[in-house]
Structure 1
Amino acid sequence: MAEDQEEERPELFPFRGIHMVHYFTDNWDQVEAFQARPDDVVVASYPKTGTTWVSQIVDLMYCLDDPSRVHRAPIYERVPFLEMSKTEDFEAGTTILDATPSPRLIKTHLPVQLIPQSFWDNNCKIIYTARNAKDTAVSYFHFSRMNKIQSRAGTWPTFLEEFINGEMVFGSWYDHVRGWWDKKESQPILYLLYEDLKENLPREIDKICRFLGRELSVADKQKVVSQTSFDVMKSSPMANYSTCSAMDHKVSPFMRKGQVGDWKNHFTVVQNERFDEDYKRKMEGTTLMFRTDI
């Protein structure tokens, strides 16, 4: 898999206790000082765990009076990426958000300890989505292969070791999912599981509606369900990131399979046993549980 190694890639470096690349730290002064508004809705997650999916669901809920909006602008303009700095493809997230009228929908991959203080001060509602570690590792590997603003993916065995060690952009999956899980005890956070979304999307949409205090008619709910199916989103240039020059869809599509259990096609028996042993140690003492199959 040398095709993704030919172009220049950013280097990982330690930043505020996690690993990062400069694309998410170049604008850090503006991110840290960002002024949240009480009616902001944040879509938070570790990378490749359903972020775009939940962003599309929430955006549809807020634009039912103008449903064509989802076909007029890419998801990263409709739900701006808070910590993204200015690139060839993107305006800085804080710049877009400062010019966006309320209510704003905001995406972030930051671990809970790096979220700007103003979000907590304003008691903003946050929807966090988590996905089982094995499928996350596989999806993140293929994403890193095709995305030029990610650090080099290397081989699958090497990438898996780096994932286990937390040497990933946005840090350790284990710390990320546990940090947000604990924070929901003191803040208005709806914690969703990717596997639950795959199993019963209408049920999870109902949870989101209750959390956000929004009501959907039966017809509107069906619209949201149908327009956020994997196949529909994968074929939409406004959702699949095909408009981004930084992403090489010939290497791997941004929306690849969207399955639960694809890790079985990548993990060897030895890798799986090592992963399970390490996972048990790192997730000890938490009530957070994941399914690796449904």
Structure 2
Amino acid sequence: MFQFEKISNELLRRIECPGTEKHYKVTLCNGLPKFTPEVLKDNSSRFSVMIETFLPIAERIKKMEVFKDDVWVITFPKCGTTWTQEMVWLLNNEMNFERARKLSLEERFPFVELTGALSLIGGDSVSDIVRLPKPRHIKSHLPVMLLPDQIWTVKPKIIYVSRNTKDAATSFYHHYCNIVGYDGPKEHFYEAFLSDNLIYAPFSEHVLDYWKLRNEDNVLFITYEQMKRNLRQVILTVSSFLEKSYNDQEIDALVGHLSVDSMRANKSCNMDALVEWARNTNYSDARKKNDSNEFRFIRSGKVGSYRDEMNQEYVTRFDDYERKMTIGYSFDFNF
């Protein structure tokens, strides 16, 4: 079903590190399943870049049983995933803030391909999903071509979140440094991103395939920028999509709970344990000794944070990347 082709080039070699190494081009040999929505049947050849630890779980995910009452939150990495997960879980669980505080987000909303996306993490993230009590809440960064086949027949609810390319790349760079163990310059990371030499690449096809699905009854497409501009309205939209209804006081409480400061202070979803694991596992000896980094998994939470770090040359190149990927589409990252 899948073809795995090991890839190695200068751009990849410069960003490979303990958390992501041995990259492969993953191709779906016979294309998307015949029961995939017509909007995706464009005769294009789809591939995704993944790492070696994904290979043993690719078929298991593809054949995984899916249930109608599953809720999937899917994003390209660092596009508002944690923020959206917490919102969705609370909306779908009668605003049970007490239970949300007792159980970590990883327990409530596990990451299906985790063991195939982060080297050295251990465990079996696919089995963790299979064992989840229903209704299941599932996080993923997978492109449409790597999702379970039953997604297209069972049609669980899918919420996809996109983010403008420059902020996504900048946030992903910090993730690579502080979770994956990357010690190189951001320019090398940007080059890998722009040339589709990065785990989960290509970014353009990842976003656009889910954009094409936006009119499917079981798919909701939202953006990080919408959430920042009017979180309350997005909450109402997601609540309606989940077929839930809450009063103004309950919505106000959720808006406050989802503020950046509140999320950073929330031990159930601020991923402090993952950050500490990364420091002990993925950092070089020199970095372990000298690191005085105050990195938080929930970082700036701003739109346009790239302006503090990206020079004009890369701003122009990322703008060109966005322009090329959206030619012929009504899609705009900042709508």
Q: TM-score, normalised by structure 1?
A: 0.89
Aligned residues of 1:34 and 1:116 also touching (Cα < 8 A): yes
Please list, as runs of the form range in 1=range in 2, the aligned pairs for 1:3-14 lying within 5 A after superposition: 8-11=18-21, 12-14=23-25
1:8 deviates by: 3.2
Please list the CA deviations of residues 32-55 of structure 1 after superposition, one character each: whole Å capped at 9, or x if unmatched.
111010111110110000011010
User: Which amino acid letter does the alignment assign opposite residue 162 of structure 2?
Assistant: A
1:186 deviates by: 4.1
Match of 2:206 in 1: 176
Match of 2:179 in 1: 147
1:6 deviates by: 11
Q: TM-score, normalised by structure 2?
A: 0.79
Equivalent of 2:328 in 277, 285, 289: 285
Equivalent of 2:159 in 86, 111, 127: 127
Match of 1:46 in 2: 76
Aligned length: 286
Equivalent of 2:302 in 235, 254, 259: 259
CA distance 1:90–1:288, change in 2 (3 Å):
farther
Deviates more, 1:244-253 or 1:133-142: 244-253
| Large movers: runs of 4+ above 4 Å | 86-91
Which structure 2 segments of 5+ residues have no match?
1-14, 28-46, 280-291
CA distance 1:217–1:24, change in 2 (3 Å):
farther
1:21 deviates by: 2.0
Aligned residues of 2:69 and 2:134 also touching (Cα < 8 A): yes
Aligned residues of 1:46 and 1:109 also touching (Cα < 8 A): yes
User: Which amino acid letter does the alignment assign opposite residue 235 of structure 2?
Assistant: I
Equivalent of 2:132 in 67, 90, 100: 100
Aligned residues of 1:63 and 1:69 also touching (Cα < 8 A): no
1:279 deviates by: 2.5
Q: Residue 49 of structure 2 aligns to a residue in which SS?
A: strand
Match of 1:209 in 2: 239
Matched, 1:234 2:264: yes
Q: Residue 161 of structure 2 aligns to a residue in which SS?
A: strand
Aligned residues of 1:25 and 1:85 also touching (Cα < 8 A): no
Identity %: 27
Match of 1:56 in 2: 86
Aligned residues of 1:135 and 1:260 also touching (Cα < 8 A): yes
Cα distance in 1 for partners of 2:151, 2:230 equals 30
Please list the CA deviations of residues 105-131 of structure 1 after superposition, one character each: whole Å capped at 9, or x if unmatched.
111100112111111111111000000
Q: Which has the larger radius of gyration?
A: 2
Matched, 1:138 2:170: yes
Which structure 1 segments of 5+ residues have no match?
none
Equivalent of 2:277 in 220, 232, 246: 246
Please list the CA deviations of residues 72-129 of structure 1 after superposition, one character each: whole Å capped at 9, or x if unmatched.
1221111011112288767433222222222111111001121111111111110000
Higher-helix-fraction structure: 2
User: Which amino acid letter does the alignment assign opposite residue 273 of structure 1?
Assistant: T
RMSD over aligned Cα atoms: 2.3
CA distance 1:202–1:65, change in 2 (3 Å):
closer
Cα distance in 1 for partners of 2:17, 2:218 equals 42
User: Which amino acid letter does the alignment assign opposite residue 20 of structure 2?
Assistant: P
